Chain A
Amino acid sequence: MNENVNENVNDCDVIVVGGGPAGSCAAIVAARAGLSVVLLERGPFPGSKNMYGGVVYPRILDELIPNWWEEAPIQRWVTRRSTMLLTDTQALTVDFRTEAWGKAPYNGATAYRPDFDHWLASHAEAAGAQLLTSTTVTGLLRDDKGVVVGVTTDRPDGDLRARVVIACDGVNSFLAKQAGLYTHTDVKHFTLGVKETLALPKEVIDERFGVRGREGVDIEIIGCTGGVNGGGFVYTNLDTVAVGVVLKIAKLAGQALRPEQIIATLKAHPAIAPLIEGGEVKEYSAHVIPEAGLAMMPKMISDGMLVAGDAAALCLAAGIWLEGVNFAMASGMYAGEAAVEAVRAGDVSAQGLRGYQRRLSDTFVLQDHRKLRRAPELVLSDRVQHLYPQMVANVVERMFRIDNPQPKPGLRRILKQERKRAGIRRRDLIRDGLTGFRSYG
């Protein structure tokens, strides 16, 4: 590795590593600008190795693929969005639906990633990028000054040289690590997402979830993750329902529980079981998620190299907002633009590539992460995970319980009693409330 062969010969202008949403968007932008682009994918086709847990928000594609919604292989448009608080026996749901999200330009969609990513990569190919599949990048090629000048792959004669390498190689990015950009790799920053995809007839899904046609539902869940900090989700595809959990890895390792047991508990919950009853498991999948947001982000620029998507930990896990694919597409797009700028200016040093940082900072990509930098820790904290759901559910249960001939108790009294019963100190509650208000407000 790292050997210098022939400094002046490039195989192409830009190498994009990884055919996920970030990589394909980077390749689309760079290829459309007339650069020669090679898009490397380790799977047999783009999307074959990819996984996500809910909703894709593709509006960022407006800039790349006008009227993308007419051709994108989506399953359902999410018109109903629920946030659910679960205890072992209770459920409190905030449920919202709007017709607006079921019409162009739409909002969020559920999709099968092998379809969605494959489709996005086909646009990169149409733009002129060369897609090479079943090819794993094994390392970086650097010149004697340490500048990244290409990649090594697992194929014979597999070195490939380019002016810019864009690493979109996903969470655990080996390239970002090898380049020395990724230092926050402590396990506490990561969660494990696991999900089952259950087949049910479309009419049954429509009926159980109260939707029609292409309308879909996304339910985000707090609680009921078997004592492991994390969250759950249920979302509808056309004729399958996905149900899964996101689990803090360190905590999961400490418990004698396997992730599929936690999914089984969630599936058996009285609020979830009727939705998925009779569903046949078609797929079980799992993936690591960079969960800590700003706190774990690597440096995204070095000489001859940019990092985008999950590889740059661009995944927003802020409880009520759970997004990743849109951040991947945006960062890929901006990385592509910065690479074009740098190649045209003839300066692919970190300085020449700084347009990437500017674009990230000026847009939602980093602004959302900055604003919500405290949210991931708050959402995954023990109180939010284990104490508040029980307290809130008990308060609501007592609010709506009619104990005649007893008169109704005052809400403040119930709140105080339940807070004490849950063992929550008043100042912690206020502090968490303020953190939440600062983050989300």
Chain B
Amino acid sequence: MSSANRTTEVVVCLKWVFQADEPSDARFAGMSPADHAALELALQWATHIGGQVTAITVGPAQADAVLREALACGATRAVRIDTANGVSSADVASAIASVARHAAWVWCGDYSIDNGSGSVPGYLAAALQASQALGVLGVTFESGSIVATRRVDGGRREVLDVQAPAVISVEGATARLRRASLTAMRAAASAPIEVVAPSIVMRTSEHIAHTYRPRARALASPTGAEALDRVRSLTAAGTSSAAHEVETLEPADAAARIVQTLREWGYL
């Protein structure tokens, strides 16, 4: 990938997953609906900007099935990062980023159907230092940019003007995957798939999965002459339970302030 075509480099990330009720049966394995939608939009967007689509998956050899589906539908290049199933989201994202580091547009499914948390696209945007539009419900193609409608809390919608480089994760209902032509299907069955070793040691999510707990907070010895006062200062009993501060700051300062407060409260 040369830097000349960087703005037209489109990547779609696809995950080969088992159905929830058929957890080890490859006959029922494949892409989730969200990945289907991502593939379709990646293909449409590539046509729109005159680019080509590279499909990337992370998984074992059986995961080639989703890449062949992508090739049959119109992707021009397929890369599988060879790992076992069940790698942590952060490591999946780093591995994809090492292959897709020149990509201008990265499309992902919102989350996979096997307990997916939708975290890979976020990690990926961070690793690629790209902007992100996650949980997208609908897109409009402009010349050189994408207007994405995003689901936010409380039934609200957020409309984003997405510029390259960007990671866009879409919900399953955003697009219906086209039907591959018979000729393309036959060609895809024997098309080459680039298999690359992961650039980092991949940790499975089992190794790092645990319930989130705030770390222990170091407290100074309580002060106060009476035992009651010392207990009160330790437990904050009698003070307001809703700790909040209102400050008006520039975004960068606000982010720094939030991080600092979370540190003080022991959450980071």
Contacts and interface: CB of A to CB of B under 8 A. Distances in A.
7 contacts: A132-B185, A155-B182, A156-B179, A157-B181, A157-B183, A158-B181, A158-B182
A157 B27 contact: no
Interface in B155-205: 179-186, 189
A155 B180 contact: yes
Contacts of A11: 186
Contact of A160 (B180, B182, B184, B189): B182
Contacts of A153: 182
Contacts of B182: 132, 135, 153, 155-160
A373 interface: no
A74 interface: no
Interface string A114-150: 1000100000000000101001000000000000000
A155 B181 contact: yes
Interface of B: 27, 179-186, 189
A114 B27 contact: yes
B64 to A, nearest CB: 14
A38 interface: yes
A157 B179 CA distance: 11
Interface string A405-432: 0000000000000000000000000000
A38 B186 contact: yes
A45 interface: yes
A45 B27 contact: yes
Contacts of A135: 182, 185
A137 B185 CA distance: 15
Interface string A152-174: 01011111100000000000000
A130 B191 CA distance: 13
Q: Which of B27, B180, B186 has the most CB of A within 10 A?
A: B27
B113 to A, nearest CB: 16
Contacts of B185: 132, 135, 155
B179 A155 contact: yes
Contacts of B179: 155-156
Contacts of A157: 181-184
B27 A130 contact: no
Given A45-B27, A114-B27, A118-B27, A156 B186 contact: no
Contacts, number: 33
Contacts of B184: 157
The 6 closest A-B pairs by CB, nearest first: A157-B181, A156-B181, A155-B182, A158-B182, A45-B27, A157-B183
A155 B184 CA distance: 10
A154 B50 CA distance: 29
Q: Which of A38, A45, A156, A159 has the most CB of B within 10 A?
A: A156
Contacts of B183: 157
Contacts of B189: 130, 132
A19 to B, nearest CB: 12
A341 to B, nearest CB: 26
Nearest to A114: B27
A11 B183 CA distance: 9
Nearest to B26: A45
Q: Which of B179, B184, B189 has the most CB of A within 10 A?
A: B179
A44 B182 CA distance: 15
A153 B181 CA distance: 10
A378 B189 CA distance: 50
B180 A130 contact: no
A429 B185 CA distance: 60
A157 B186 CA distance: 11
A94 to B, nearest CB: 39
Given A130-B186, A156-B181, A157-B181, 6 more contacts: A11-B186, A38-B186, A118-B27, A132-B185, A132-B189, A135-B182
Contacts of B186: 11, 38, 130, 132
Contacts of A132: 182, 185-186, 189
A45 B27 CA distance: 7
Nearest to A158: B182
A403 to B, nearest CB: 58
A155 B185 CA distance: 10
Q: Which of A11, A135, A155 has the most CB of B within 10 A?
A: A155
A11 B181 CA distance: 14
Contacts of A44: 27
Nearest to B178: A156
A46 B139 CA distance: 37
A48 B27 CA distance: 9
A153 B184 CA distance: 14
A410 B183 CA distance: 76
Nearest to A12: B186
Nearest to B27: A45
B153 to A, nearest CB: 37
Nearest to A45: B27
A38 B186 CA distance: 9
A193 B27 CA distance: 26
A11 B189 CA distance: 15
A130 B188 CA distance: 11
Nearest to A46: B27
Contacts of A114: 27
A155 B181 CA distance: 5
Contacts of A159: 182
A160 B27 CA distance: 25
B81 to A, nearest CB: 26
A133 to B, nearest CB: 9
Contacts of A158: 181-182
A45 to B, nearest CB: 5
Contacts of B180: 155-156
A192 B186 CA distance: 36
A1 to B, nearest CB: 16
A37 to B, nearest CB: 12
Contacts of A155: 179-182, 185
Nearest to A115: B27
Q: Which of B180, B182, B183, B189 has the most CB of A within 10 A?
A: B182
A5 to B, nearest CB: 13
A48 B189 CA distance: 21
A38 B182 CA distance: 11
Nearest to A11: B186
A156 B186 CA distance: 13
A153 B180 CA distance: 12
Contacts of B181: 155-158
B71 to A, nearest CB: 14
